[in-house]
Amino acid sequence: MQHTLAILLTLTTYGTWLRGDRRGWVDKGLLLPHNPDLEAADRRRMKCPMFLFHTEQLEEIGGMIGTSLQERLHMRILALTVQTWHVHTVVMATEYPVEKIVKCAKDAVSWELRPGRIIWSDGYDKRFCFDETSVHARIEYVERHNMRIGLAAKPWSFIESL
């Protein structure tokens, strides 16, 4: 069995990717098709409106996430992007469970922003990388997100090389 080298994590903000979404959606690892009835039902159950980060906050939020992951869990962060409705990060494999890594990242932002409302979706997506080729591909994927919004590929000093 191969060992995990790194993990790509995707966190979404509240209400931005519901079950049944037209872009497709994931349940138990399976990509499922658009289901407008399911999406509408989820939208009706939302406790507050959809949450988006302000574009002028993106770098600051990335700093919150990176600092928290490094200081609390001693994570090695290989890539990070913060977009208005989602976050991608590639971290080196660790002994910590993925759930703890995600909680650390989400809690850092929630604590610092203190918006008085839900800002994160309940779930997250995880993609394990078992070889350097897949790690580099996922790092490049994340870095392209940064460059599309006018940032450097690696805009934070805590981002390390593989």
Model pLDDT, residue 157: 97
Number of domains, the chain: 1
Model pLDDT, residue 10: 96
Q: Is the pLDDT of residue 1 over 70?
A: no
In a domain, 78, yes or no: yes
In a domain, 65, yes or no: yes
Entry pTM: 0.92
In a domain, 121, yes or no: yes
> Residue 107: which CATH number?
3.30.70.1290
If you average pLDDT over residues 80-84, what whole number do you get? 98
Alpha carbon separation from 125 to 33, 36, 77, 148, 158 (Å, rounded):
17, 22, 17, 22, 23
Per-residue confidence at 17, pLDDT binned at 50, 70, 90?
confident
Q: Is the pLDDT of residue 100 over 80?
A: yes
Model pLDDT, residue 29: 75
Give the domain extent around 136: 6-16+51-148
Reference 30, options 19, 39, 40; nearest CA is 19
In a domain, 82, yes or no: yes
